[in-house]
Amino acid sequence: MKFGKPDAGFRARLYTIIFEAETRAGRLFDLSLIVAILLSITVVVLDSVQAVSANYGDVLGMLEWFFTLLFTLEYLARLYCVRRPLRYATSFFGVIDFLSVLPTYLALMMPGAHVLLDVRILRLLRIFRILKLTSYVEEYGMLNRALIASRRKILIFLSVVMMVVLLLGTVMYVVEGPGNGYTSIPTSVYWAITAITTVGFGDIVPKTDIGRAISSLMMLLGWGILAVPTGIISSELTAQHGRLRATTRTCHECLSEGHEYSAKFCKDCGAPLPPLESTAAR
């Protein structure tokens, strides 16, 4: 506590409201924050539509300043009540909070910057803090574990895709040439990504017969190869499922493992299993 004693109680109360979600006031604060973020994003989005901006430009501009001042105030309050302001200011959410108010001030100097206010959407990631209390965290952890467990396979897959895209992009640059829209290797690689991910914008298309043959192969490859990462994640999640359901309960008599959550007796020796609490409590 670097500040004077008098407002220490106020700071602690402010901290509980702003940073915690367990109390009633804290939850109310979080909910109004989410509503404010959604409203301010709606303002930015509407302001970018010309028909709306032409008629309600003044109101939207004022609302934008209102929300910016509100979030600036909130940012200062966070800085004020947190124990180590610098650590907060350099944390992920601290940076996001700062970037959420910056564009409006920047727009005073360079018009147009204020559309960057949409970075505020990232503030919604705080929602997960409220959900923390529910079972969303377990689901999220399962997804996360599966992705981490398969990160090496995914990396191998991505690097192979990158090589294919660069190689075939170059080949198409040679085969089709700038005359057919393949003006440079980066453009050809962009097209190759377009083809292999089955997006197919159609702004650049092969026109020679060889080019079409090569892109046919690429499309079939990109279409089929997607089965690989899908299979990786599927099998990893299936394994997580199996692990979750099976390995946590142990019979105290015969020490066999893998009993279901609903089991009351050991399926191997018939001895009563310890109640679920004692194992689920880990």
- Site string (144-173) toward a second copy, x via CB under 8 A: --xx----xxx-xxxx-x-x--xx--x--x
Half-sphere exposure in the Cβ direction for 133 (13 Å, CA) = 7
Region of 271 (left: φ > 0; alpha: ψ -120 to 50; beta: rest) is: beta
- Site string (109-138) toward a second copy, x via CB under 8 A: ---x--xx-xx-xx-xx-x-------xx--
Nearer to a second copy, 65 or 201 (CB): 201
Region of 262 (left: φ > 0; alpha: ψ -120 to 50; beta: rest) is: alpha
Q: Is 257 helix (H, G, I), strand (E, B) or coil?
A: strand
Among 50, 108, 179, 282, binds a second copy (CB under 8 A): 50
Nearer to a second copy, 16 or 197 (CB): 197
Q: How far is the CB of 248 from a second copy (least distance, A)?
A: 12
Q: Which of residues 82-101 bind a second copy (CB under 8 A)?
A: none
Q: How far is the CB of 208 from a second copy (least distance, A)?
A: 11
Q: Is 265 helix (H, G, I), strand (E, B) or coil?
A: strand
Is 38 one of the binding residues for a second copy (CB under 8 A)? Answer: no
DSSP 22: S
Among 16, 208, 235, 248, binds a second copy (CB under 8 A): 235
Instruction: Residue 26: name the closest of 133, 118, 125, 140 by CA.
Output: 133
Q: How far is the CB of 58 from a second copy (least distance, A)?
A: 18
Among 23, 62, 174, 252, binds a second copy (CB under 8 A): 174
Q: Is 282 helix (H, G, I), strand (E, B) or coil?
A: coil
Among 95, 205, 208, 248, binds a second copy (CB under 8 A): 205
Helices within the chain (DSSP H only): 8-19, 24-48, 50-81, 85-90, 92-109, 127-131, 136-149, 151-176, 185-196, 209-225, 227-246, 276-280
Is 181 one of the binding residues for a second copy (CB under 8 A)? Answer: no
DSSP 249: -
Is 64 one of the binding residues for a second copy (CB under 8 A)? Answer: no
Q: Which of residues 243-282 bind a second copy (CB under 8 A)?
A: 245-247, 255-273, 275-277, 280
> What does the alpha-carbon distance between residue 194 and residue 198 come to, in Å, rounded to a whole number?
6
Stretch that binds a second copy, among 20-28, 56-64, 87-95, 219-227 (CB under 8 A): 219-227
Among 39, 86, 186, 252, binds a second copy (CB under 8 A): 186
Is 240 one of the binding residues for a second copy (CB under 8 A)? Answer: yes
Among 111, 195, 252, 282, binds a second copy (CB under 8 A): 195
Is 222 one of the binding residues for a second copy (CB under 8 A)? Answer: yes
Residues 78 and 18: beta-carbon distance below 8 Å: yes
Residues 114 and 53: beta-carbon distance below 8 Å: no
Residues 100 and 20: beta-carbon distance below 8 Å: no
Residues 119 and 96: beta-carbon distance below 8 Å: yes
Q: How far is the CB of 119 from a second copy (least distance, A)?
A: 7
